[in-house]
Amino acid sequence: KVYKNIEDGTRALISKNMLFESDSWMLKVVQLYETSLVRHGFMLVGPTLCGKTEIAQVLTTCMTNDGNAHRTVIMNPKAITDSQMYGVKDPVSEEWTPGVFASIWQRYNNRSLKYTTWIICDGPVDAIWIENLNTVLDDNKILTLANNDRIPMTDNCKIVFEVQDLRNASPATVSRAGIIYVSAS
């Protein structure tokens, strides 16, 4: 299928950003676009420096330029602990401290926002933190926290994983997400 606005917009951004245009790279932009139309969670898989970030940035900029405003929020889940990511309950005071991801999730899953947000988890998959996102990736689309807060995903939000491989991802996680493989060549 041909997506004229996406392909023309991508070519314009490639020229503007002084990138090298190749058919295989354009194909990955189109594949990511098609995946984003049918999935709310998807994974860009490939080695470091293969262009995963640039593909996502070019596509979201292209969609914004086409009148469908997009923003990206990028974090590395492996840079913080599980409790820093989702939140932790103090055992003494029983006070809840929300985590970084939980705060981002709550802020951008808001129907009143006039743009679509891609929350991008850029870093290695870890079975501990990604398993907690299975309820987000499945049809429930709900982030459930340890304090029993349930934060639903809205239609103007997508969750994206930029990873080198899926070695530590369970079949349950992989089966819930759209996968786009970007090779080094």
Q: What is the mean pLDDT of residues 27-50?
A: 96
> Residue 31, Cα to own-chain centre: how many angstroms?
15
**Residues 126, 78 contacting (CB under 8 angstroms):** yes
Residue range 60-119, pLDDT digits in tens: 999 999 999 999 999 999 999 989 999 999 999 989 999 999 999 999 999 999 999 999
Mean of pLDDT over the chain: 94
Q: What is the pTM of this model?
A: 0.94
Q: Report d(CA 181, CA 54) in Å as an integer.
A: 14
Mind listing the pLDDT tens digit for each residue in 130-141?
888 999 999 999
Q: Could you give the percent of the chain with pLDDT greater than 90?
A: 86
Alpha-carbon distance of 73 to 115, in angstroms, equals: 12
In angstroms, the CA 17 to CA 7 distance is 15
